[in-house]
Chain A
């Protein structure tokens, strides 16, 4: 187990390393000249050169990357062009709101998607299965911003069950969480349905029926445990992705999270904030993917041996 985790961890570090190369590359290729920005538009050529040296831009590219990496390792994600604040502090200030939304969205995905998937598989080709299949197809194809606006229109405007435009209460969390989680729930339902169907065809399921176990015991003790693997992986990935901010949903609901900040940074050409968000988001994905891998290894003893 320890060796398995160490191996996965090694990969995770490599992936994050690769991400830093990409973000550095983007910053390097971007048309915005940091030295010009730093020195100010009316700076003299000499002042500009000093700024370049101070920012380390006179070094060869490899050295520049090394300096960039060193700064990252010290938690320095750069400084915002627009506000002059450290990017890390900006991102962290938005993290609680995003964390709240991400957790709620994930809850919607899991609580709605998993049971529906299991139900559809158990009632294979029955009415329940057809309803889940059709409904989930709808959930998969409707774009998130449309879903968000429809939810707002129906349940905040037409029938004012939930607050419109508020972001600071539990009821205010419901609609954004649904908009974020429902498409995922649809995916989960379809995925879980097919993995449960696969497992239901396995010999050991027939064998556990041959033991005289009730259908409930067969499903809860043998089928579920053997079919959650793909869902666990998805949950890990999704949580990572959500933590990196969900631009569309945060934008539709005016949710003050990382995604909204990233959107503002994109429109303002504030490249350090954009790239800082990318690094945080990507790292979150890598970390929770790693967590999912470990959970899967705990659930399935065969994994760590392969």
Chain B
């Protein structure tokens, strides 16, 4: 048997043991704690969790755009093998937009209000592809057409406030796609939009991913959003990955109590209308208090004594798929201790 006969596919992105911290007036917050995952080219991965769980901190760390008070405390970020942690700002600038790009939550604030959208798209093209202004303009028209903005030639001169929310988000996606990135990070790309528009934007992201063979990281608080689009899901809680698996596994066979709670609190078509939607009681820890044991304990109905002492590591889910992992000491299927 030749072990090297099948070469492992090169990862589009690999994150190893990433931790980020924010300095605040009240002390240091660990926003992301020892997070590892990898994404193959063309794969779509969802990162799901409540606000404050560290999703956005991961996204910003990937682009080297953590705010002034934030920094990467440890870990590696490998973009097609290139180490981003500790890379010079020149290296990072060259990678941003061209190899890894980002779509932000609110297109009203993420587009420059006083610059026509055509120029905002062309900027990235000119910076990375070194083409002439005319070529960049032509490329911007193509991109607008591709992302479904009607009448693109006329739209080039429009300002963000002249467009609807849905159109603006399409423009923001065109901006991100301008230099044909390998990895697209979309941070809550549909949260600010109407439900009908949400589906259109998700379709667009999905279509572009397939067309370009681009890896997609979809960050959201809404499991329903990842259900239709992603291959795999990372569930985050208090800066940690608490469950990780294929989207099908996460939905059909959730293991972590937090994932269970998220799924139960999703409205379903067949659910009885007059019954109240279940919620997860309590709120996530603030990040300041360093308690021993599992961070989910205060909100967990499965907790056993050991949970108070041990912060459970991410381990293969008993009897689950090969890549299905959860960070829980309890086998939530049987309510018995898993190990």
Contacts and interface: CB of A to CB of B under 8 A. Distances in A.
A225 B106 contact: no
Interface stretch (A10-18, A163-171, A198-206, A270-278): A198-206
Contact of B115 (A203, A213, A214, A221): A221
Contact of A203 (B93, B110, B179): B110
Interface of B: 63, 65, 68, 89, 93-98, 101-102, 104, 106, 109-115, 123-124, 127-128, 159, 161, 172, 175-176, 178-179
A209 B65 contact: yes
A211 B127 contact: yes
A203 B109 contact: yes
B96 A301 contact: no
Interface of A: 124, 202-204, 206-215, 217, 221-222, 225-226, 299-302, 305
Contacts of A299: 114
A249 B183 CA distance: 61
B161 A207 contact: no
Q: Among B95, B101, B102, B113, which residue has the most Cβ atoms of chain A within 10 A?
A: B113
A221 B113 CA distance: 12
Contacts, number: 83
B157 to A, nearest CB: 10
Contacts of A222: 112, 115
A204 B128 contact: no
19 contacts: A203-B104, A207-B110, A207-B175, A210-B104, A211-B97, A212-B96, A212-B127, A212-B179, A213-B97, A213-B123, A213-B124, A213-B127, A217-B123, A217-B127, A222-B115, A226-B112, A226-B113, A301-B113, A302-B114
Nearest to B109: A203
A206 B179 CA distance: 17
A119 B101 CA distance: 29
B112 A302 contact: no
A212 B124 contact: yes
A8 B220 CA distance: 45
Contacts of B98: 212
A210 B128 CA distance: 12
